[in-house]
Amino acid sequence: MNGAQFIKQVRQIGKRNGITVRFDGRHGKGSHGRLYYGDRFTTLKDRKKEIGPGLYRKMLRDLGIEGEA
C-alpha cells in the first residue's frame, strides 16, 4: 500500500464514522504531510512510495483506527 491508497482508506473509514479527514501537505518537510482524522493526526511520507507494515500499524494507531482497517 502506498501513501495515496492509505489516504483513500482512511477517508472511507472517516465517511463510515462521520469523521472529517483531510491532508495538509504544508505541515511537513519535502514530500511529507499531515493526515488529520478528526482531531488526531499522523505524518505521512511520500504519497507515491510504499508504506511498510510496521509504519502502517503505527499510523493507524496515531489516528485511533487500528481495529477498523
Name the maximum alpha-carbon separation found in the chain.
31
- Please list, in sequence order, all residues whose beta carbon lies within 8 angstroms of the beta carbon of residue 60, skipping any fewer than 6 positions away: 66, 69
For range 2-26, the mean pLDDT: 94
In a domain, 48, yes or no: yes
In a domain, 11, yes or no: yes
Q: Within 1-69, where are the H helices? A: 3-17, 53-63
Q: Which domain holds residue 51?
A: 3-63
Using alpha carbons, select from 35, 34, 37, 36 the residue that is nearest to residue 16. Answer: 37
Number of domains in the chain: 1
| pLDDT at residue number 54 | 94
pLDDT at 16 over 70: yes
Reported as a pLDDT band with limits 50, 70 and 90, residue 50 is very high
Query: Angle 3-17/53-63 helices, nearest 10 degrees?
Result: 30
pLDDT at 34 over 80: yes
In a domain, 68, yes or no: no
Residue keyed to cell 469523521: 19
For range 6-27, the mean pLDDT: 93
